[in-house]
Structure 1
Amino acid sequence: MRIADGKEGDSDLSAPQTIATTVYLKLRDDILNGVLKSGSKVRVDWVVEYYEAGASPVREALTRLATEGLLDHRDQRGFSVKPVSAHELDELTRTRCWVEEMGLRQSIGNRNLQWEEQVVLALHRLTRASCHIIEKPSSIDAEWEKHHGAFHRALIAGCGSNRLIRFSDQLADQLYRYRILAKSDEASPRDCLEEHRLIAESALDGDADRAVSVLVNHYEKSAALCAGRFRLSNGFQN
């Protein structure tokens, strides 16, 4: 489907931004889900042709993705999908733990009925999605991922810092990419639903130390599982 013709002189001055955002979202989705392979070049002319958009919004979208850490950009060499590496996986995980510890502690300190209801509802929806995965393991992944992200976002939603939440979202996206690329048909030895329940229970009880401990442990387990699968498949690129 054509996004836009990208011609100059369009009467709607907001169109270039809308086009850039559309290209950005599509490229981002393709990178996160492994459609665009790790380390592969992303040429402006190819994106223009493939997504049927003008060069200016395409460059804007690519620059935004590079700023968010999903693309590499080097002078004279253009853009490429950021390679996966053990170092980056470790760095992303540690940074997310630091950032979300602060967000979770602040949310617990600021807790009110609205935040508590948001966490309870997010856990309920994640639980329902988890039950569907058990019944249909290959068909509900997208639904589970949606509710999984919403649950983790709800935990820090009361921190009072939109900047922290946005940064956390970027880290979550990059780690989601690692989880997707490391996905295996083998059953996970973890009880992820129980891990999420413990995080929520601790947060709702106002026990910040315990909530942070189980949250960090949850993220570290995910990173270790990804790293193990990458090493088995020689998936790390540097």
Structure 2
Amino acid sequence: MSKRPTPKATLSTRIADQLRAQIVSGTLTPGSKINLDHLRSQIGVSISPLREAVARLVAEGLVEFEDQRGYAVSPHSLADLDEITNLRVLLETEALHAAITHGDLDWESKVMGSIHRLERTPRAGAVDWEAAHSAFHMALISGCGRPKLLEFCTLLRRQHDRYRHIRMNAELRAAQADRVDTEHRAIAEAAVAREAEHATALLRAHIEATATTLRAQLRT
């Protein structure tokens, strides 16, 4: 039987989850300083789990550390967005291809269940929709059988989502909702039909279409 996590590990994980959500949503803006002493007083924790939590976010590319300057939320830039997009296309399409090749009936059920939930979740409930959206993209690649690849895909999608949350306002998201919904359904159906080349091409176009919109917003 596996050991239960220590209270310290549980606390650092919870802090990391809270900070990650604030960074990805844009509540903590790109380039903003992360003052550990202020956070320690605000949250009411010791410095050790806080350092562990922030170090985890550094490893995920959401926080940067510089000598003499401390921690700060990673900045936004066109070059960074392009790198994230290119890597996401490369790795996520590879994971989807592997999932289509190796995924079983449970994987198919997970994909169709996730697209059903996504389509039935109102966009007005942004938090719920975002959770369903993330679950859909993870379901697509969950059958690849490559845990490390899934981990990298998750990190890249979070970084991409951060750009989307910060650079796309509600009006812009609403204008693109029909396109996004159509693309999600097409990817899911091609995936469970085992049309690997078609499904990966659709996923690539889906990721790049969002990136094109984000690039335009970054230039304004």
Counterpart position of 2:105: 113
After superposition, where does 1:17-56 map in structure 2 within 5 Å? Answer: 17-56=9-48
Give the Å deviation of 1:191. Answer: 1.4
Q: Distance in 1 between matches of 2:92 and 2:29?
A: 29
Q: Post-superposition, which runs of at least 4 consecutive aligned residues in structure 1 deviate over 6 A?
A: none
Deviation at 1:13, TM superposition (A): 8.9
For structure 2, list consecutive stretches of 5 or more residues without a partner in the other structure: none
1:108-159 per-residue CA deviation (whole Å, 9 max, x = no partner) reads 1113211111111111111111xx23xxxxx311111111111111111110
Compute the RMSD of aligned alpha carbons.
Answer: 1.5
Instruction: Name the structure 2 match of 1:188.
Output: 175
- CA drift at 1:32: 1.1
Separation in 1 of the partners of 2:5 and 2:213?
Answer: 47
Aligned residue identity for 2:32: S
Aligned-partner residue type, residue 144 of structure 1: W
For residues 33 and 123 of structure 1, the distance between their equivalents in structure 2, rounded to whole angstroms, comes to 22
Per-residue CA deviation, residues 213-237 of structure 1 (Å, 9 max, x unaligned), is 00000000011111212222xxxxx
Aligned length: 214
Equivalent residue in structure 2 for 1:82, among 74, 88, 102: 74
1-structure distance, mates of 2:35, 2:190: 47
Q: Among residues 108, 119, 125, which one is paired with 1:140 in the alignment?
A: 125
Among candidates 118, 125, 129, match of residue 117 of structure 2: 125
CA distance in 1, matches of 2:219, 2:14: 35
* Partner Cα separation in structure 2 for residue 67 and residue 184 of structure 1: 28
Q: 1:8 maps to what in 2?
A: none
Q: Which amino acid aligns with 2:212?
A: A
For structure 1, the residue ranges without an aligned partner over 5 or more in a row are 1-11, 134-138, 233-238
| Residue 185 of structure 2 corresponds to residue 200 of structure 1 | no
Matching of residue 217 in structure 1 with residue 202 in structure 2: no
Give the letter for the 1:213 counterpart.
Answer: A
Query: Pick from 163, 182, 186: which aligns with 1:178?
Result: 163
Letter in 2 for 1:188: A
Instruction: Indicate the SS of the match to 1:79.
Output: strand
Out of 57, 62, 70, the residue aligned to residue 70 of structure 1 is: 62
Larger Cα-atom Rg: 1
State the TM-score, normalizing by the size of structure 1.
0.86
Report the 3-state secondary structure (helix = DSSP H, G, I; strand = E; otherwise coil) of the residue aligned with 1:157. helix
Q: Which amino acid aligns with 1:198?
A: A
- Matches of 1:28 and 1:94, distance apart in 2: 22
Q: In proportion to residue count, which structure has more helix?
A: 2
Using the size of structure 2 for normalisation, the TM-score is: 0.93
